[in-house]
Amino acid sequence: MGASSRPKFESKTASEADEFFVTFLESWRKAMSLTNFYLAGHSFGGYICGHYAYRYPEHLKKILMLSPAGVVWVPPDFDITQMKFKNGKKPNKLFKSIATSIWEKKWSPFGVMRTSKFIGKKIIKSYLKKRMGMLTDEEQ
């Protein structure tokens, strides 16, 4: 996320966290003297791109949100089985079955970890502590 300096993260709510990242991105944009630029983000970065674009559309030329986290709206006419590859071939039945299952259950790697009782929670707590300097409920 470009924050290799690990700025102090003290947000307690989701909206405070959103504000933290959008403000950080806007500060970076100003420091780089960017205007009318392309912004791309994957997963959580895509989510933050959406928040940034909503708040500062005047600075962006275009945004690219790749698998943005938190976007749950599905177009009513979406059908994964109609997906085609560039060469015109459709995916095989096994791929379509797996992709359909993942799509319908809103599966994600973090989702699997969140639902596991011990291992997933331990991994997520460790990740948050290392990445964001966040303390777990037990440590606070």
- 35-67 confidence digits (pLDDT tens): 999 999 988 888 899 899 999 999 999 989 887
The Cβ of residue 3 has, within 10 Å, a number of other Cβ atoms equal to: 14
Residue 140, pLDDT score: 47
62 beta partners: 38
pLDDT confidence bin for 135, thresholds 50/70/90: low
Average pLDDT over residues 3-18: 76
Q: Which pTM was predicted? A: 0.51
User: Does residue 2 carry a pLDDT above 60?
Assistant: no
3-state helix, strand, coil in the chain (%, to 5): 50, 10, 40
Domain boundaries, the chain: 1-69
- 75-120 confidence digits (pLDDT tens): 666 565 666 655 666 667 787 777 777 667 666 666 666 666 666 6
With beta carbons less than 8 A apart as the criterion, state whether 33 and 57 touch: no
Say whether 71 sits in a helix, a strand or coil.
coil
pLDDT confidence bin for 27, thresholds 50/70/90: very high
